[in-house]
Structure 1
Amino acid sequence: MPKIHSTLGRRLVLALAATLLLPLSAAQAQDGKQLRIGFQKSASLLTLQKSQGSLEKRLAPLGVTVKWVEFPAGPQLLEGLNVGAVDIGYVGEAPPIFAQAAGAQFVYIGNDPAAPEAEAIVVPKDSSIRSVAELKGKKIALNKGSNVHYLLVRALERAGLKYSDVQPVFLPPADARAAFERGAVDAWAIWDPFLAAVEKQSQARQLVDGRELVHNYAYYLAERGYAARNPQVIQLLFEDTAAQARWLKGNLAQAAAVIAPLQGLETEVVERALQRYQFGVKPLTSGVAGEQQKIADAFHGLALIPKPIRIADALPAPQ
């Protein structure tokens, strides 16, 4: 019961916040006059889009405004999407699976290309740990339900360990970094730009990144009704995202200089992270959906989610 009350409590708080803080936005969203985008500050492309105001210009002829709603990580963003605080969100692989298993209502509307190098398991520079196999019995910090949750599962599996062989310590990125640097945990599973930051600033050492283990796709999700009612808005969002992505990849140093102060990071850190991410949103293919189903099945097999789910149930209806 405590876990159920905790989950319901979080949703009620978010719902209340949405009611008290976004009354006009909610009304505008109902009539399609406002697009509310849930994003994380670590999502560099969306942070760039927000700063440039390019999407607002594309949507202005439709009479649609944009509201950017920031969340600390994917699981919290999915809670916001589920209670109606946002219309569209951008997250990694694992959060939608945990959210769907908890009954959240959303649809996948697109994904960015795989970026396996943009997440890794790291240890302090002076750690005696030299391989994933040596993590047996160790404490590993990670954000529960985030993309690195699956990275950890796969890395342990390849090293001949079970998930139960390690001690996961569930912390959001800021708290995880503090625990990592004071030695309260032995390793940290984390994504960029937090990964690039701890590598540069603390000389953290990678044990393994996502290559040959995970795809690390990033997904665009939408409230089902919003997606059905506003295909033109979504199309313009994707057109703008693609245009900004092309500029970013062709101008990494300049893009990093714009994004870095918005993320509170050094330009060099942001540029390193941008090099490891891939951008270019596309509609989900059956192959990408199948890879997402593999993650869902693995999580259910480890009892990380309470019931099996079908990714197909969270895909838009065929047009």
Structure 2
Amino acid sequence: MQRRQFHQFLTSAVTAAAFLSPVLVHAQPRVLLRAGDQKGGLQALLEAAGELKELPYDIKWSEFPAAAPLAEALHANAVDFGTIGDAPLLFTLAAGSKVKAFAANRSDAYGTAILVRPDSPFKTAADLQGKSIATNRGSIGHFVTLKALASVGLKADDVQLRFIPPADAKLALTQGSVDAWATWEPYTALAETGGHAKVLVNGRGLWSGLGFLAATEQALADKRAVLQDFKNRVERAQAWSYQHSKEFGTTLARIIGIPANAAQLQFERRATRWQAIDAPLIAEQQRTADFYLAAGLLKQRLDVQATFDTRFHTG
């Protein structure tokens, strides 16, 4: 075979091999999903259920102590999505964040509560008049505080609201710098099991118990298939967790760094269930937004219909 013919043969052979051999084919880069988590809840759930094994994409976890800093990260496009309660989601939407909720869950509202010291003489929300209450601005703790006050004929101006993060709020309560602390799980269970506080007012009948996975509009456009897969894994993991509550409680305690009894209490008490984003749910979120408007915390009415992405399937 002449040199020129040999060169043509070799070129053709290599070209064919490039199509046939996976080693020579340029691999597509794996999608990176930037997940915002609160106190390790989602990560613990997925890890315990084995749903983080053999992922077809990568996850970068960022943990936040509360919804407010997570919402800021969403607004700054520092994370693709995160887990966030109904009230803080409304605040970040009203501030102009380009995010939408694409998955919803509902929990028992008991653990979103107003706590007082174990020796406190307070009996009802009415006893909070003129007193100081620590919470996060725009949090579900803030929302339950306003609802609890309204239920006894009081307004926000009738108490002294101190907007500080959970760790500082707990310290302020135990040291007597504030009279009450409005918070949520797992902080409520931690305070109770640690003997630092008792529940004065729980969230049942005051708060919807709704929570969401909310993603940036860019992530919804660019990573929809990955977000759908993640949502499916979360739903499967949630079902698994209630069939293996002891095993999950142990994993949850390890990952989020709290005592096992507190982890078990908050997990079993929340009884979280993932559900479809339907008309009744959207109407409930609208009532929450309208309450914030009436309380003067939103400057203009927010139409929540546009803040949901309902194209993700459940199950």
Name the CA distance, whole Å, in 2 between partners of 1:131 and 1:280: 30
How far 1:110 moved relative to its partner?
A: 1.0
Counterpart position of 1:123: 116
Of the three residues 217, 220, 225, the one matched with 1:232 is: 225
Name the CA distance, whole Å, in 1 between partners of 2:107 and 2:63: 23
Letter in 1 for 2:204: R
Of the three residues 90, 96, 101, the one matched with 2:89 is: 96
Report the secondary structure of 1:272's partner residue. helix
Counterpart position of 1:76: 69
Counterpart position of 1:217: 210
**Does 1:44 find its partner at 2:44?**
no
Report the secondary structure of 2:120's partner residue. coil
Counterpart position of 1:178: 171
Counterpart position of 1:25: none
Letter in 2 for 1:153: L
Counterpart position of 1:55: 52
Name the CA distance, whole Å, in 2 between partners of 1:50 and 1:251: 13
The answer to whether the 8 Å contact 1:224/1:316 transfers is no
Letter in 1 for 2:198: R
Counterpart position of 2:307: 314
Letter in 2 for 1:178: L
Name the CA distance, whole Å, in 1 between partners of 2:310 and 2:191: 42
Of the three residues 140, 145, 153, the one matched with 2:146 is: 153
Consecutive unaligned residues in structure 2, runs of 5 or more: 1-28
Taking only aligned residues, the RMSD between alpha carbons, in angstroms, comes to 1.9
Of the three residues 287, 291, 296, the one matched with 2:280 is: 287
1:258-309 superposed Cα distances (whole Å, 9 cap, x missing partner): 1112222110110000011133333311211111111111112222123321
- Superposition map of 1:129-168 within 5 A: 129-168=122-161
**Does 1:208 find its partner at 2:201?**
yes
Letter in 1 for 2:113: A
- Percent identity between the aligned chains? 32
The answer to whether the 8 Å contact 2:44/2:255 transfers is yes
Letter in 2 for 1:37: A
- Superposition map of 1:104-119 within 5 A: 104-119=97-112
How far 1:54 moved relative to its partner?
A: 2.2
TM-score, with structure 2 as normaliser: 0.85
Counterpart position of 2:3: none
How far 1:95 moved relative to its partner?
A: 1.1
Counterpart position of 1:23: none
1:157-177 superposed Cα distances (whole Å, 9 cap, x missing partner): 111211211111111110000
Alpha-carbon distance change, 179 to 69 in structure 1, aligned in 2, over 3 angstroms: same
**Does 1:258 find its partner at 2:269?**
no
Consecutive unaligned residues in structure 1, runs of 5 or more: 1-30
Question: Which shows bigger deviation, 302-311 or 137-146?
Answer: 302-311
Name the CA distance, whole Å, in 1 between partners of 2:222 and 2:275: 19
Alpha-carbon distance change, 46 to 215 in structure 1, aligned in 2, over 3 angstroms: farther
The answer to whether the 8 Å contact 1:115/1:217 transfers is no
**Does 1:245 find its partner at 2:238?**
yes
TM-score, with structure 1 as normaliser: 0.84
Name the CA distance, whole Å, in 2 between partners of 1:258 and 1:114: 20
Report the secondary structure of 1:281's partner residue. strand
Alpha-carbon distance change, 146 to 221 in structure 1, aligned in 2, over 3 angstroms: same
**Does 1:34 find its partner at 2:27?**
no
Report the secondary structure of 1:55's partner residue. coil
How far 1:137 moved relative to its partner?
A: 0.5
How far 1:73 moved relative to its partner?
A: 1.1
Name the CA distance, whole Å, in 2 between partners of 1:81 and 1:47: 21
How far 1:71 moved relative to its partner?
A: 1.6
Question: Which shows bigger deviation, 46-55 or 91-100?
Answer: 46-55
Letter in 1 for 2:52: L
Letter in 2 for 1:55: L
Name the CA distance, whole Å, in 2 between partners of 1:46 and 1:132: 35
The answer to whether the 8 Å contact 1:55/1:237 transfers is no
1:171-210 superposed Cα distances (whole Å, 9 cap, x missing partner): 1110000000000000111111110111111252211111
How far 1:50 moved relative to its partner?
A: 4.8
Alpha-carbon distance change, 306 to 50 in structure 1, aligned in 2, over 3 angstroms: farther
Q: Which has the larger radius of gyration?
A: 2
